Amino acid sequence: MGKTQTTRYDVAEHLRTPEEMAAYLEACIEEADGDAAFIAKALGDIARAKGMSQVAKDAGLSRESLYKALSGERSPGFDTILKVMDALGLKLHAEAMKR
């Protein structure tokens, strides 16, 4: 039996519509279990799908600082999250939790 060839999976290649992007972010928020860096990484995936340069411009950030903020290695400030979400055309909303 021959070796299996694998390729790196990049979710950004599969986020084509605003609805797919919103569903992906919603799923990541549910899975994050309070990990803000995980959510930032998800926003980074969506930003790459839309084009990092344009998202950075729309958010009023440099491309380099946007990459750093959304790398998943740290938790960006909430103001940065709000700017990026606006640039991505996504809305933040609240829902009561059932406990």
| DSSP state letters, 12-31 | GGG--SHHHHHHHHHHHHHH
Q: What's the distance, CA 7 to chain centroid?
A: 21
Residue 1 lies in a domain: no
Residue 8 lies in a domain: no
Q: Residue 98: what pLDDT?
A: 86
Rounded to two decimals, the pTM is 0.88
Over residues 77-86, mean pLDDT: 95
The number of domains in the chain is 1
Q: Residue 90: what pLDDT?
A: 95
Which sign, positive or negative, has the C-alpha torsion 24, 46, 68, 87?
Answer: negative
Q: Residue 2: what pLDDT?
A: 82
Residue 51 lies in a domain: yes
Q: What share of the chain is helix, strand, coil (3-state, %, to 5)?
A: 60, 0, 40
Residue 62 lies in a domain: yes
Q: Residue 23: what pLDDT?
A: 96
pLDDT digits (tens, 9 = 90+) for 38-77: 999 999 999 999 999 999 999 999 999 999 999 989 889 9
Residue 2 lies in a domain: no
